[in-house]
A and B are shown apart, each in its own frame.
Chain A
Amino acid sequence: MASRVGVVVFPGSNCELDVVEAVRGLGGEAELLWHGRTTLGDVDAVVLPGGFAHGDYLRPGAIARFSRVMRAVDAFATGGGPVIGICNGFQVLCEAGLLPGALQKNAGLKFLCKPVVVRVETDTTALTGDVPVGSELHIPINHFEGNYTCEPETLAELRADDRIVFRYTDNPNGSVDDIAGICSRGRNIVGLMPHPERACHPLLGSTDGAPLLRSLLVRAGALVA
């Protein structure tokens, strides 16, 4: 049976169907999960997609984190289930305290929408299990608040525990230590600003996102590595 990925939909999410399409293209199953739900149902992995949940009012992710579904996501993640936050989803995970740090406005004060190159820094997370360390992936970014920041102690801990998952090769937004993505202590929760689901078909200009989502499907349990 194929891995089943639940893709959470907040009011204002706008990348959920791209994730569904990419997961199905890789042989997985995908299901949309409305934010008002209290349970996740029968899913093996959860993706919080990109967009502007609740209009990004107050701060990106600040209101989404109180959505009812987030209690179920929290329990799923705490139990070791793979949870991926892409772009706005990364912001939600930080606001929810499932990942440390915060994402503030890009250093150049520009909304950035372009392909970038990110280097994979660890292959022991839910999103990179199948991708060699050092791989340089061409994946688009699409954000205004992608400038990752955290306390110096948090940064030291992320480095020491090998929890920086992706770094930009040419930092576009001012992120501390070129960070494009990080993971939780348990390595099952991963947040990243680039959009792997938008780099899963030759027509989109890159297929470099596919090995990441394939890693997630493998981790989620049913595809053979």
Chain B
Amino acid sequence: MRFSVLVETRLRDGVADPQGATIERSLPALGFDGVSGVRVGKAFRFTIESDDEAAARAEVEDMCKRFLTNPVIEDATISVYSSGSA
């Protein structure tokens, strides 16, 4: 089966995010007040061929651990959809 995958990575809580902080400081100048907690991350979209959703998810988790994130500073959120629904 083919699954669509969305992986979102971001700096872990407690790790300083200079990009997020700079964006947050800039927003009020454009009139966007009241914004807090800006964190900058990356998103990866791809499809994967796998027996079932659990197997697809397990493979993507391994991919995140070994390659897509640096676990010292980053976390990932994984979303898996059967192809066609995403």
Asked if B32 is at the interface of the complex by the 8 Å CB criterion, the answer is no
A150 to B16, CA, bound (A): 12
B contact face: mostly helix, strand, loop, or mixed: mixed
CA distance A95 to B71 in the complex (A): 10
> Which residue of A59, A66, A105 is within 8 Å of B70 (Cβ)?
A59
Q: Are A150 and B19 in contact (CB under 8 A)?
A: no
Are A109 and B15 in contact (CB-based, < 8 A)? no
Does A108 lie within 8 Å of B70, measured CB to CB?
no
Assess whether A151 is interfacial by the CB under 8 Å rule. Answer: yes
State in angstroms the CA–CA spacing of A36 and B72 once bound together.
Answer: 27
Q: Which of these, A58, A59, A95, A109, contacts B19 with CB under 8 Å? A: A109
Q: Are B15 and A105 in contact (CB under 8 A)?
A: no
A interface secondary structure, majority: loop
Q: Is A62's CB within 8 Å of the partner chain B?
A: yes
Q: Count of chain B residues with Cβ under 8 Å from any Cβ of A?
A: 11
B19 engages A102 (CB within 8 Å): no
Cα–Cα, bound, A94→B72 (Å): 10
Among A62, A100, A104, find the residue whose CB has the most chain B CB atoms closer than 10 A: A104
Flag if B18 contacts A62 (CB, 8 Å): no
Contact B72 A108 (CB under 8 A): no
Q: Is A106 an interface residue (CB 8 A)?
A: yes
A101 to B70, alpha carbons, bound, how many Å? 10
Is the beta-carbon distance between A149 and B67 smaller than 8 angstroms?
Answer: no
Interface bits B11-52 vs A (CB < 8 Å: 1, else 0): 100011011001000000000000000000000000000000
Complex contact B18–A106 (CB within 8 A): yes
> Which B residues have a C-beta under 8 Å from some C-beta of A?
11, 15-16, 18-19, 22, 67-68, 70, 72-73
17 example contacts (A-B, Cβ-Cβ < 8 A) are as follows: A58-B67, A58-B68, A59-B70, A62-B67, A66-B67, A100-B72, A102-B73, A104-B73, A105-B18, A105-B19, A106-B18, A109-B18, A109-B19, A109-B22, A147-B18, A151-B72, A174-B16
Measured CB to CB, the residues of A under 8 A from B are 58-59, 62, 66, 94-95, 100-102, 104-109, 147, 149-151, 174
